[in-house]
A and B are shown apart, each in its own frame.
Chain A
Amino acid sequence: MKSSLQKFKESYFLYSFKRDKVAMASFIAILIFIALAITAPWIAPMNPYDSNNIDIMNSEIAPSWTKGGQADFPLGTDNMGRDMLSTMLYGLRTSIMIGIGAVSLQALIGIFMGLSAGYLGGKTDAILMRIADIQFSFPYLMLAILVGAIFQIVFGISRYEQLAVPLLILIIGFAEWPMYARTIRASVMREKNKEYVEAAKVIGLSKPVIMVRHVLPNSLTSLMVISTIQIANAVMSEAALSFLGLGMPVTMPSLGSLIRSGFDYIFSGSWWITVFPGILLILFVLAINLLGDWLRDVLNPKLYKD
């Protein structure tokens, strides 16, 4: 019964996916971006992390099709003389890595908190949800910036830059877990009183087992919807932090820190250092948001009601 329902959902899912050109296009775009990010070390013309490849004499070369451009650097070079295309590919890699890492952490904390709150109920529920509420009322970006700032002062700038990737994952992960916790709790509350959970109780399964094996799978649709939105948010947060100088250092730039370093040169006319990574960032986030919109429309539990 359950598997046939699952199949129906999948087929409907697939059917509407095939019909929606925007959803297909954005999904393909995301796959391409991820492929580019994974293969960056092999497909990038040069390694921007290796200082042997960098010649300061090559700094601020315009894109190859404009005046003063060189064929070696199709999208020009940045202020340190790195090939823009290669640096952007590596930057995309870093941005995606941090985005996915942070969302995984969010999901981990959020699901644990949400399951505990929803299933144990009573005081645990009240306290955990109170914490989530309070944190929720505080803008996540503000929180991320504050925590980032404190970390940077505690560790010192150079140590912070070395540890940037794990620290950013930690910061963004902790800043937005309540989103997951709330969603999970809501679906747990919904599922909790259904017959199959009662049945599981009767045959003597323990609470944690019921939660993880029976309740969690039924929350998967809502998890999928928020995860897409959260990845877009996390990538944007990372870019914002890096832009403020609280994220990836210029030597190992993410898209955000590339934009930041380009901003200083925009007044002198070197627009490409900002514009290209900017476009890449927008396209990536846009693709995720479009797919997220579509997912929300298709999986919206409201639509199943009648």
Chain B
Amino acid sequence: MFAFIIRRTLQAIMVMLVISLIGFSIKSNIGDPVRDLVGERVTPAERAAIADKLGLNDPFFIQYTRFVKNVLHGDFGTSLIYRKPCLEVILKHAPATIELVLGAALIIILISLPLGVFSALKPKHLFSRFIMGFSTLGVSIPVFLTAIMFIYLFAVTLGWLPSYGRGETVDIFNNGYWNSGFLTIDGLKHLVLPCISLASIMLPLYIRLIRSEMMEVLETEYIKYAWAKGLSPKRIWLVHAFKNTLLPVVTVFGLQIGIMFAFTILTETVFQWQGMGFMFLEAIQRADISLLIAYLVVVASVFVLVNTLVDIFYGFINPTVRIAGTK
């Protein structure tokens, strides 16, 4: 197990190095750190002097090492639009996105597990057919369209829920970083539509995944054996079959959290949700290269971290992987 963790970690570090290299090449080719620092109103001579001071004329590799070293110290440079260190900007926007993803993940888990399991156990039931039909429709609707329809229906027409922003938030740690919408009624109201929209795109996928995995497990010898042992259906379905179903589902869930982050860009745009995705789009529109690259590196690290953790977790709950890892 230990060797497996080491191997997986080394792999993660390799991937991060490659991503940082890509990020840095983009930055050094299209970014303009001098402008980021002092703006446009300096003479060419001054610019050259600053560029020299910043080491922009050093060989690529030396600049890259410096970039990695800075990044490891949390220094991603200064954001052009916010006039603050990039990392600080990202960290301040992160909680909004994390809460959005968290809310959506919660909805997905609460809905996909029972629906997926039910439609696997009773595939011919009318309700199961309805679920399957609905999920095909679900994957065919782009997330931003779902979001727009929700706004039109629940905010514009019915006026039940707010259509944009995060509403009233509470500063959890009193340091200006984590403003949570989970603690106020208004904040929760604002969370409903964005979270459901974000969840809507992944939900069909999970229902189908859980269903097909579960159906496959139900056909195995060990499930038939469990019946022969006289166990109750509840134990066979919810303990024996479910645990075996969960293994692949957990892996996919871990990998798909990354995709959820991608979709937050769309959801946040529609709902003007002040999270990382919203910030990212702002950075694109105003060509804030430092912030873009910082976003790229931070988001990539999160993916790699999550992937690695999921793999290791998978190793813990699946004994066969564990053995393979130690050999």
Residues of A whose CB lies within 8 Å of any CB of B are 134, 137-142, 145-146, 149-150, 152-154, 232, 236, 239-240, 243-246, 256, 259, 263, 266-267, 271, 274, 278, 281-282, 285-286, 289-290, 293
Q: Which residue on B lies nearest to A292, using beta carbons?
A: B136
Residues of B whose CB lies within 8 Å of any CB of A are 15, 18, 26, 30, 136-137, 139-145, 148-149, 151-152, 156, 163, 255, 258-259, 261-263, 265-266, 269-270, 280-281, 284-285, 287, 289, 292, 296, 299-300, 303-304, 307
With contacts A263-B270, A266-B151 known, is A137 near B145, CB below 8 A? no
Is A289 a contact of B307 with CB atoms below 8 Å?
no
Assembled-state Cα–Cα distance A137/B19 (Å): 12
A residues less than 8 Å from B296 (CB atoms): 146
A146-B292, A282-B141 are known contacts; what are 11 more A-B pairs with Cβ within 8 Å? A134-B18, A137-B258, A142-B262, A142-B299, A149-B284, A154-B30, A240-B142, A256-B142, A266-B156, A282-B140, A290-B136
Q: Which residue on A lies nearest to B258, using beta carbons?
A: A139
With contacts A153-B287, A153-B289 known, is A138 near B300, CB below 8 A? yes
Is A286 a contact of B140 with CB atoms below 8 Å?
yes
B residues less than 8 Å from A285 (CB atoms): 140-142
The 6 closest A-B pairs by CB, nearest first: A142-B262, A286-B140, A139-B259, A139-B262, A149-B284, A141-B262
Shortest A295–chain B CB gap in Å is 13
Tell me the total A-B contact number using a CB cutoff of 8 A. 98
A residues less than 8 Å from B18 (CB atoms): 134
- Most-contacted residue by chain A among B137, B148, B261, B281 (CB, 10 A): B148
- Most-contacted residue by chain A among B143, B152, B263, B307 (CB, 10 A): B152
Is A286 a contact of B136 with CB atoms below 8 Å?
yes
A residues less than 8 Å from B280 (CB atoms): 149
With contacts A243-B144, A245-B285, A282-B141 known, is A153 near B259, CB below 8 A? no
Is B259 a contact of A141 with CB atoms below 8 Å?
yes
Is A243 a contact of B266 with CB atoms below 8 Å?
yes
Assembled-state Cα–Cα distance A61/B270 (Å): 24
Contact for A137 among B151, B156, B281, B304, CB less than 8 A? B304
With contacts A134-B15, A266-B156, A289-B140 known, is A281 near B265, CB below 8 A? no
Q: Which residue on B lies nearest to A153, using beta carbons?
A: B287
A residues less than 8 Å from B262 (CB atoms): 139-142, 145
Shortest A30–chain B CB gap in Å is 13
Assembled-state Cα–Cα distance A274/B153 (Å): 13
A residues less than 8 Å from B148 (CB atoms): 259, 263, 266, 274, 278
Shortest B301–chain A CB gap in Å is 12
A residues less than 8 Å from B285 (CB atoms): 245
